[in-house]
Chains A and B, each alone.
Chain A
Amino acid sequence: MRPERMRTIQLLCKKEDSSRVIEILADLKAVHLTDHQRQTVGKAIIDIGTPRESAERLSSALIATRNLLAKTESVKGEKPDDGIDQTLDDRIIRTMVLAEMYSTHEQELAAAEKSLQRLDLQLDLLDMLAPLESPVEAIFAAKSVQTIVVRDAKPGKRAFDIKSAPHVILLENHRRSAAMLVVQKQDAQKTKDLLLGNSYELVDISPLRDVRKTPKEATARIHAERAAMQREHQRIVMDIANFNQQRNFLLESEPIFAFELLKAQAPLHFGATKHVTLVGGFIPEKRAAELERRIKDAAITALVETSPARQAPVALDNPRYTKDFEWLLRLYSLPRYDELDPTRLLALTFPVFFGFMLGDIGYGLCALAVFMLLKAKMPKTRQLMNIFIISAVSTIIFGFVYGEFFGVSSILGAQLPMLIHRAEVESIRFMFTVALCIGLFHINLGLLLGAVDKMKDGLYFVIIEKGCWLLVEIGLLTLADSIHLLEKITLFSFGGSMFNGFLLLGIGGAGLWHTEKETGVLKVRGIIEIPMMASNMLSYIRLVAIGLASVYLAFIINQQAGLLFAKGGLALALGVVILVLGHALNLALGLLGPFLHSLRLHYVEFFTKFYEGGGVAYRPFGAMEES
């Protein structure tokens, strides 16, 4: 029940051999590298190594590949296999060429779009000036005068109406109107200010500077130009779309580049002097021999030293059928290397709690179907789906214990077998008793695991500390009994008195004070957690509460639907709708609630008794992780 055993490993080899060593390590996919820190030994400085020369090229190629993959669109049926075998060099060259070509196309597209915009603007202005009979170049020809064009769109109250100005040319079109003034250059700015002050909108006609002939003639020509540019734009768009064909090649190249880059940059993790390379890290115990053999087989002279690790990265080691529950553990935190791995216990108790709460055959079957379907559709969530599937099976089992099927206790007249009828008022105290017993069992299991873990601190301390918690538990129960709390909630009472209760708490507290490692004020650290223990014990009542909530909800849904069924006709259809929607909602709540609360019971009540977490994940060199 511990993470996989690791050994620390130190490897010294000649600098010339380092590439071959890197190849072996990358192929082995077993060594978790620790980064070498620059250190000075006497007069020698052992610095980190330099990456191989290919690293830069590979890096550019990888970035280019990812860039192209991001910009192109997925094609149906694409796969990471181009079908052509290529050397790494050829692959890199082809990728860079593709990137270059794509970039050129992108620039051409931008230029084409800019041209189209300019032509559209010219067409718009020419449309405004259409009634003009003189050629456009005349507007810009004269040096001493300036032409001002004004958009006359808004009829509003103006102190000055442009139509009354001298030498105004009115350009009226069936769609819009504009006015044109020609003024001396020195008066141009004053005129513009006057017009702006009277809320006239000035139009910038400088885009028409290189247009020839009258507006009408020029329009026709520019239309033709625009059509040609539009065709050009289309062509560029299609050329870019053709890049989607390259995706198979790109998809194949990306992991290859990433892997080669990893190897090329590996020296950054190593220590290096002029002649020697120093590799440090961790390797699983069962693969250490393999590494030594491979180094020897490759005829590399190297010094390999391994020793059992005391702190190491953590690779969880669990049998196949509990492995899925590692997902729940990862959600919290990986165990430290020297800690216990509670995954197997989690795999036992989590489904039990879940089933205990939901406990319905119908909901269990639905959940089973839903999650098997989801697992097929989304293979990436496999672990979580498996957890739910196991929990669903547990639900079905508890459904038989409670005799519940979608909230009813008999199907088509046949009475379901049941051990406990949990919806009855009489059974509630029994259920509370069971829940409290489960709670005590779970908490004490946690304390036991904590004891086993801390054995190395000394048997004496462990027994006193955990023993005191036990006394605290009994003390709290006694207190609860003395105020008649226990007999109200549960089925038993053992005549505890308040005096006994406080006595036990006192002894327990004293023991906790005694075994507390901290000094000074923090010595009360254990004692102030006594209320927490009370809270933890009572927390397990939620096992009953959440279940009952689900049962009563189902009961009400069935009752309402039944009333509607009795009426017949349209009410029948409504009844069916209520039945289906209601149970769907109850199922959703019933999956979410028990899952979260079961998990919370583990994280807060169970883990806090023995688990610390904070382990570093084991990342072997050469194994590419799924991003």
Chain B
Amino acid sequence: MDIGTGLIGIAAAIAVAGSAIGAAIAEKEIGAAAVGAMAEKEELFGKGLLLTVIPETLVIFGLVIAIIILGLAK
């Protein structure tokens, strides 16, 4: 295994990790606000949950890029 393949592996890892950390930071803030709102008004659970998981699209993008990158390793 030459260094090229190794670097491709690292690149894919960074793609996923970066997007995951980004999504985590976003959902952290949104989640905290959502729970705060829910504490005052129970009916907001559904909307709160939905808003909290909206940043998951970021992770999907990261995953797609990672797979494309891994595809370059041959």
Given A535-B57, A604-B49, A614-B43, A484 contacting B71 (CB threshold 8 A): yes
Residue from A488, A534, A600 within 8 A of B57 (CB atoms): A534
Chain A CB within 8 A of B37 CB: no
**Closest approach, in angstroms, between the C-beta of B12 and any C-beta of chain A?**
12
Within 8 A of A (CB), among B4-20: none
Residues in A with CB closer than 8 Å to B63 are 538
Residues in B with CB closer than 8 Å to A603 are 46, 49-50
A308 to B57, CA, bound (A): 44
Residues in A with CB closer than 8 Å to B56 are 535, 539
**Closest approach, in angstroms, between the C-beta of A575 and any C-beta of chain B?**
36
**Closest approach, in angstroms, between the C-beta of A511 and any C-beta of chain B?**
21
Residue of A nearest to B43 (CB): A333
A532 to B56, CA, bound (A): 9
Chain B CB within 8 A of A531 CB: yes
Contact of B60 with A488 in the complex, beta carbons under 8 Å: no
Chain B CB within 8 A of A70 CB: no
Given A539-B56, A600-B53, A604-B53, A485 contacting B64 (CB threshold 8 A): yes
> CB-CB contacts of A485-496 with B at 8 A, as 1s and 0s?
100110000000
Residue of B nearest to A541 (CB): B63
Residue of A nearest to B63 (CB): A538
Chain B CB within 8 A of A366 CB: no
Contact of A532 with B43 in the complex, beta carbons under 8 Å: no
Residue from B46, B57, B68 within 8 A of A607 (CB atoms): B46
Contact of B57 with A604 in the complex, beta carbons under 8 Å: no
Residue from B46, B57, B60, B68 within 8 A of A483 (CB atoms): B68
A608 to B71, CA, bound (A): 34
A604 to B47, CA, bound (A): 9
> CB-CB contacts of B48-66 with A at 8 A, as 1s and 0s?
0110011011001001100
> CB-CB contacts of B16-39 with A at 8 A, as 1s and 0s?
000000000000000000000000
Contact of B60 with A333 in the complex, beta carbons under 8 Å: no
Contact of A332 with B57 in the complex, beta carbons under 8 Å: no
Residues in B with CB closer than 8 Å to A613 are 43, 46
- Number of A interface residues in the complex (CB < 8 A): 22
Question: Most chain-A CB neighbours within 10 Å: which of B46, B54, B71?
Answer: B46
The size class of the interface chain B forms with chain A is 10 to 19
Residue from A331, A483, A539 within 8 A of B64 (CB atoms): A483
A600 to B68, CA, bound (A): 28
A607 to B50, CA, bound (A): 10
Residue of A nearest to B57 (CB): A535
**Closest approach, in angstroms, between the C-beta of A479 and any C-beta of chain B?**
9
Contact of A538 with B60 in the complex, beta carbons under 8 Å: yes
Within 8 A of B (CB), among A327-374: 331-333
A281 to B37, CA, bound (A): 31
Residue of A nearest to B53 (CB): A604
Residues in A with CB closer than 8 Å to B60 are 531, 534-535, 538
Residues in A with CB closer than 8 Å to B68 are 483-485
Residues in A with CB closer than 8 Å to B53 are 600, 604
**Closest approach, in angstroms, between the C-beta of B59 and any C-beta of chain A?**
8
A614 to B47, CA, bound (A): 11
Within 8 A of B (CB), among A499-549: 531-532, 534-535, 538-539
Residue from B49, B57, B64, B71 within 8 A of A532 (CB atoms): B57
Contact of A333 with B45 in the complex, beta carbons under 8 Å: yes
Contact of B46 with A531 in the complex, beta carbons under 8 Å: no
**Closest approach, in angstroms, between the C-beta of B49 and any C-beta of chain A?**
6
Given A532-B57, A535-B57, A332 contacting B64 (CB threshold 8 A): no
Residues in B with CB closer than 8 Å to A331 are 45
Residue of B nearest to A611 (CB): B46
A604 to B63, CA, bound (A): 20
Chain A CB within 8 A of B67 CB: yes
A608 to B64, CA, bound (A): 24
Within 8 A of B (CB), among A258-279: none
Residues in B with CB closer than 8 Å to A484 are 68, 71
Residues in A with CB closer than 8 Å to B64 are 480, 483, 485
Contact of A600 with B43 in the complex, beta carbons under 8 Å: no
Contact of B46 with A532 in the complex, beta carbons under 8 Å: no
A332 to B67, CA, bound (A): 35
Residue of A nearest to B58 (CB): A535
Residue from B43, B50, B67, B71 within 8 A of A604 (CB atoms): B50
Contact of A488 with B71 in the complex, beta carbons under 8 Å: yes
**Closest approach, in angstroms, between the C-beta of B10 and any C-beta of chain A?**
19
Residue of B nearest to A614 (CB): B43
Residue from A480, A485, A608 within 8 A of B50 (CB atoms): A608
Residue of A nearest to B64 (CB): A485
A603 to B63, CA, bound (A): 23
Contact of B54 with A532 in the complex, beta carbons under 8 Å: yes
A604 to B56, CA, bound (A): 11
Residue of B nearest to A489 (CB): B67
Residues in A with CB closer than 8 Å to B71 are 483-484, 488
A483 to B67, CA, bound (A): 9
A186 to B48, CA, bound (A): 74
A613 to B44, CA, bound (A): 10
A490 to B64, CA, bound (A): 14
Residue of A nearest to B56 (CB): A535
A130 to B28, CA, bound (A): 69
A333 to B43, CA, bound (A): 6
Contact of A333 with B46 in the complex, beta carbons under 8 Å: yes
Residue of A nearest to B52 (CB): A604
Q: What are 14 residue pairs bridging A and B, where the CB atoms are less than 8 Å apart in the complex?
A: A332-B45, A332-B49, A483-B71, A485-B67, A485-B68, A532-B57, A535-B57, A535-B60, A538-B63, A600-B53, A603-B46, A603-B49, A603-B50, A607-B46
**Given A488-B67, A535-B57, 15 more contacts at CB 8 Å?**
A484-B68, A484-B71, A485-B67, A485-B68, A489-B67, A531-B60, A532-B57, A534-B57, A538-B60, A600-B49, A600-B53, A603-B46, A604-B53, A608-B50, A614-B43
Sorted nearest first, the 9 A-B pairs with minimum C-beta distance are: A535-B57, A332-B46, A531-B57, A333-B46, A535-B60, A538-B60, A535-B56, A604-B53, A485-B67
